[in-house]
Structure 1
Amino acid sequence: MMVEQLLSKIGIGISSIELGVIDTYLPLSQKQHDELSAGLRTLGLELLEDKKNILIEKVKNVIIDMIHHSEELPQENYSVFISEKMGYDYAYISGIFSEVKGITIQQFIILHKIERVKELLLYNEQTLTEIAYMMHYSSVAHLSNQFKKTTGLTPTFYKRIKRRREQNLENL
């Protein structure tokens, strides 16, 4: 809504607006472009014009949506899922992603899966086995190994730290 208000204030007519993408009726004048760029910075956002950066942001949004906001992860390979969602060959997307972000798409996915596992561990509603199944790990051991490699902690120790914090708060 804040972006829509900014666009309206500057006098930019939009045909559609989605997360990270704005389609305008007419090309922007240099003055509108500068005002939009400055206005977005005040909102803590930035204007992405480089096609590679735009593609990367879309890929990141697809991955984040897939891991954090979906009821369940897709059954097909992530590469197929991302490629279909983006409408590009996975090798092309992967090459640009690695070039711009300095990590592979697979590493980005792992980081977000581990963040999601942390959330699930903190809610304490599922067992580690259920979480491993839900996050499409082949086994609890695989999840535990990846968790430890990423965080330096085992999932069990991570949960124990949370319990200790809660106990310390209760004892205050």
Structure 2
Amino acid sequence: MTTLFIKNMVCNRCVMAVRNELNNSGIEPIDVQLGEVTLEKDLTAQEKEKFSKALVSLGFEMIDDKKSRLIEQIKTIIIDLVHHQDNGTKTNLSDVLSSKLFHDYNYLSNLFSEVEGTTIEKYFIAQKIEKVKELLVYDELSLSEIAFRLNYSSVAYLSNQFKKVTGLSPSHFKNIREDRRKPLDEV
């Protein structure tokens, strides 16, 4: 068994696009998840190059070095936590990352900051704010419900953080109704 690591996979449509490209390339995956493809056997150099070029045309990229793979795994875990898990349980981000990636959080944090030029915490906050924007645009939940869903201690804390990141209050953002959301891979 072999695992390929793929950059910029941020949603279920990305998983579907990569799975389709694998099928188009005649490669049968065992599993396709955010940032990872598990195959039964190694690809030949020619298959790997062809698949890699196809991925680039879709906005993805294969990752070979360990540091880049680790950074993508951190991003994938954060995106999954914020955008794909609807649980009201409070989670300690450092504990989650350390336990899933089998590295000390300080190492992960320093590596992320060195490579990405921002902290894990700022990246996590940016993802949460994008989720808040999404939920505000859907207009199905109150600000209190959004704060609860995203584990904010209070509506005031969410509002302050939202304004600090976007320059707008949540209510002003909701009123202008412009789609100011960024694609997740650009956050």
TM-score normalised by length of structure 1: 0.80
Instruction: Kindly indicate whether residue 20 of structure 2 is the aligned counterpart of residue 2 of structure 1.
Output: yes
- For 1:21, give the aligned amino acid: E
Instruction: Kindly indicate whether residue 50 of structure 2 is the aligned counterpart of residue 32 of structure 1.
Output: no
Deviation string 1:51-85 (CA, Å, 9 cap, x unpaired) is: 11111111111111111111125423111122222
Q: How many residues align?
A: 160
TM-superposed deviation, 1:88:
2.0
- Which consecutive unaligned segments of at least 5 residues does structure 1 have? 164-172
Q: Which residue of 2 aligns with 1:21?
A: 36
Instruction: Kindly indicate whether residue 115 of structure 2 is the aligned counterpart of residue 115 of structure 1.
Output: no
Query: SS where residue 47 of structure 1 aligns?
Result: strand
Query: SS where residue 75 of structure 1 aligns?
Result: coil
TM-superposed deviation, 1:24:
4.3
Instruction: Kindly indicate whether residue 143 of structure 2 is the aligned counterpart of residue 132 of structure 1.
Output: no
The answer to which structure has the higher strand fraction is 2
The answer to which structure has the higher helix fraction is 1
Alignment of 1:53-132 (within 5 A): 53-132=68-147
- For 1:84, give the aligned amino acid: S
Q: Which residue of 2 aligns with 1:43?
A: 58
The answer to whether the 8 Å contact 1:13/1:26 transfers is no
**Cα gap change, 1:162 to 1:24, in 2 (>3 Å):** closer
Bigger radius of gyration, 1 or 2?
1
Deviation string 1:7-61 (CA, Å, 9 cap, x unpaired) is: 42xxx67555433223445544433332232222233321111111111111111
Higher relative contact order, chain-length normalized (CA < 8 Å, sep 6+): 2
The answer to whether the 8 Å contact 1:94/1:104 transfers is yes
Query: Structure 1 stretch 19-28 or stretch 93-102: which is displaced more?
Result: 19-28
**Cα gap change, 1:113 to 1:13, in 2 (>3 Å):** closer
- For 1:50, give the aligned amino acid: D
Q: Which runs of 4+ in 1 moved over 6 A?
A: none
Aligned-pair identity in percent equals 43
**Cα gap change, 1:5 to 1:142, in 2 (>3 Å):** same
- For 2:148, give the aligned amino acid: Y
CA RMSD of the aligned region, Å?
2.2
- For 2:169, give the aligned amino acid: T
**CA distance, structure 2, for counterparts of residue 126 and residue 51 of structure 1:** 40
The answer to whether the 8 Å contact 1:40/1:47 transfers is yes
